[in-house]
Chain A
Amino acid sequence: DSGVTQTPKHLITATGQRVTLRCSPRSGDLSVYWYQQSLDQGLQFLIQYYNGEERAKGNILERFSAQQFPDLHSELNLSSLELGDSALYFCASSAGSGNTIYFGEGSWLTVV
């Protein structure tokens, strides 16, 4: 158990809908990262937050957004969903720069 908690574990929704994925980082970790993993693309970095502030952006679509709250939990919002958004979405956390990054068990999103 990495200590990073993600909910829901599985989610099935229709095209055009909006979903929110939730992440609780390890106790004391200030950085939260979101990754998308699909069969053909591997693990793709989406976005990083550090202590409530956006720190870095990766390949995140404009239909996707994220935030980190004062209690350090984070949410990833996915809107106008398309079939191609079906993937495993991981949250990860670290204490700060140069520290080990620990991953949660992921949220399986299926768009039908």
Chain B
Amino acid sequence: EDQVTQSPEALRLQEGESSSLNCSYTVSGLRGLFWYRQDPGKGPEFLFTLYSAGEEKEKERLKATLTKKESFLHITAPKPEDSATYLCAVQEVEQAGTALIFGKGTTLSVSS
């Protein structure tokens, strides 16, 4: 059973068309939930960390929110340069080490 599930797998938007990406997780205790952006052939680029339900963080056109079972990445008025794969990952309290468990990502395409 996947611990981190992201939906949709792919999303196509027109420039300026706002939307949200979903990340649902099933872990016994959440230490942190992370969002990364990954461009093709590149390493994941850190965006946000959320630690507790109700927390929100913003960066430019992106806003991440967290509940007890899921996180959303809201994209407001996206631009073509926002096209990328967005990865969600969790870090569990009851785990050896501090590695992140990743979802498979949502690939966002924004056309002008």
Contacts and interface: CB of A to CB of B under 8 A. Distances in A.
Main secondary structure of the interface of B (DSSP, over half): loop
A2 B45 contact: yes
B63 interface: no
Nearest to B85: A42
B98 A100 contact: no
A103 B34 CA distance: 13
B43 to A, nearest CB: 4
Interface residues of A, number: 29
A16 interface: no
Contacts, number: 64
Greatest chain B CB density within 10 A among A33, A94, A101, A106 is at A101
Interface residues of B, number: 24
B43 A48 contact: no
Given A42-B105, A98-B32, A56 B45 contact: no
Contacts of B104: 42
B45 to A, nearest CB: 7
Nearest to A33: B99
Which 9 A-B pairs rank lowest in CB-CB distance, beginning with the nearest? A56-B97, A103-B43, A42-B104, A43-B102, A55-B97, A56-B96, A48-B97, A45-B99, A105-B43
